[in-house]
Amino acid sequence: MSEASSQWITDEVLSRLKDAPNERVRSISEALVRHLHAFIREIEPTMSEWEAAIGFLTTVGQMCTPERQEFILLSDTLGASMLVDALNYQSAGSETESTVLGPFYVSDTPVFENGVAIDAGMPGVTLYVDGKIVDEFGNPLVGVTIDTRQSDSDGFYDVQRSESLRYLRGRFTSDSNGRFSFWSILPSSYPIPDDGPVGAMLKAQGRHPYRPAHVHFRFFGDEVTPLVTHIFVAGDQYLESDAVFGVKDSLVERFDLHDPAEAPADHPVTSQFAQLKRTFVLKRADR
Ligand SMILES: [Fe+2]
């Protein structure tokens, strides 16, 4: 079939979309059909290649569980998540920048008081996270929920090791000075889960699966515009080649080592500890 004689297929599909009652659904559907058909015309797949493509997407769906989201991984590794992020969150000024949510967010994050340890005794370099949340004028934001999670020193998240145990993640609330804090261990760089179809895709594309070490933060509350971000560890070897394109320069911080004498009085430590001290600037919620 020639290019000209196959055009009627695209035209016919587009013509059947014109009565969609929702304008947004119609325009998105039209764009999907136009771009999908153009993609197929460009790559000219064989029947077996198209079957492989359907099989790939089927496997991506079958890999998904409440603890593992292969479609988010696919979106992340194709740069789609960061493109959506870039189009939606253009920082107007001093606000902390956003980045990808990632695949290991869970809804049953344990709730803690500020200042507690969330590492459940996992081995690693002790880390003290000393955070502050302010608005764009520097005023402290009180009562903001902070949802945090990170990898252990081997690069694994709790949900990769256990279905039920939750550690190296927690939910905190900013105090009357906008502050929050917790004790943990230094996170490690890690490969995104690469034992599934997305891992096979990266291998076929000649790409490594690693993400630079980071701590995830998600902020929300009645007074603020929600923010999903990470703070990356300065000096990590994968900062320039994050498998999911999530690094922004403003989100890289030094996790410097401190002597035990510098630890807060209410939490004495016996050896050197790393510290992440960071102020997060959130937008007040639109009223
Ligand atoms: Fe992560």
Distance 156 CA to ligand 1 centre (A): 9
Residue at 281: amino acid letter: V
* 158 CA → ligand 1 middle, Å: 11
| pLDDT tens digits along 84-109 | 988 987 766 789 999 988 778 888 89
**pLDDT of res. 161:** 84
Architecture in CATH of 80-281: Sandwich (2.60)
Low-confidence ranges of the chain (pLDDT < 50): none
User: What is the 260 CA–ligand 1 centroid distance (Å)?
Assistant: 28
Task: Dump strand ranges (E) for 79-213.
Answer: 126-134, 145-150, 169-173, 179-185, 190-191, 210-211
d(CA 124, CA 176): 31
Of 250, 272, 276, the C-alpha closest to 259 is: 272
Please write the tens of the pLDDT for every residue from 193-213.
Answer: 899 999 999 999 999 999 999
Domain boundaries, the chain: 3-44, 80-281
* pTM for the predicted model, two decimal places: 0.87
| 150 CA to centre of ligand 1 in angstroms | 6
Q: What is the 102 CA–ligand 1 centroid distance (Å)?
A: 6
Could you tell me the distance, in angstroms and rounded to a whole number, from the CA of residue 231 to the centre of ligand 1? 10
Q: What is the pLDDT of residue 92?
A: 66
